[in-house]
């Protein structure tokens, strides 16, 4: 199973014909060089979903926040500290 992680584009690599093919992204202070060929060049500061060194899609802030919450819940679960009342609040809406 592959898990896609949101990361922010912070720097472009290359010039000429190769400009926009690779970018440096960051998440929690860690940098990674990724292939941007599937989604093309994006402005610096754009959040993208990455997996195995490849940017798969651009992530809007509302979607990114849901993903961050899910990743936080996963980490809490692995640490034995999961509290369902603290995560997935978007799923706890009253039904009509």
Ordered domains of the chain (ranges, CATH): 1-59 (2.30.30.140), 60-96 (no CATH)
pLDDT the model gives residue 5: 94
pLDDT the model gives residue 63: 93
Least confident span in 4-13, 44-53, 58-67, 74-83: 74-83
The encoded tokens of residue 19 equal 């400009």
The Cα angle at residue 63 between residues 29 and 58, in degrees rounded to 5:
70
């Amino acid at each position: 199973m592959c898990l896609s992680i949101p990361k922010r584009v912070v720097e472009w690599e290359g010039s000429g014909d190769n400009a926009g093919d690779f970018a440096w992204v960051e998440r929690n202070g860690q940098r990674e060089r990724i292939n941007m060929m599937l989604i093309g060049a994006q402005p610096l500061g754009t959040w993208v979903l990455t997996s195995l060194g490849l940017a798969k899609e651009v992530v809007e802030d509302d979607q990114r926040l849901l993903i961050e919450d899910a990743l936080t819940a996963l980490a809490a679960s692995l640490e034995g500290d999961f509290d369902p009342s603290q995560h997935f609040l978007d799923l706890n809406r009253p039904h009509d």
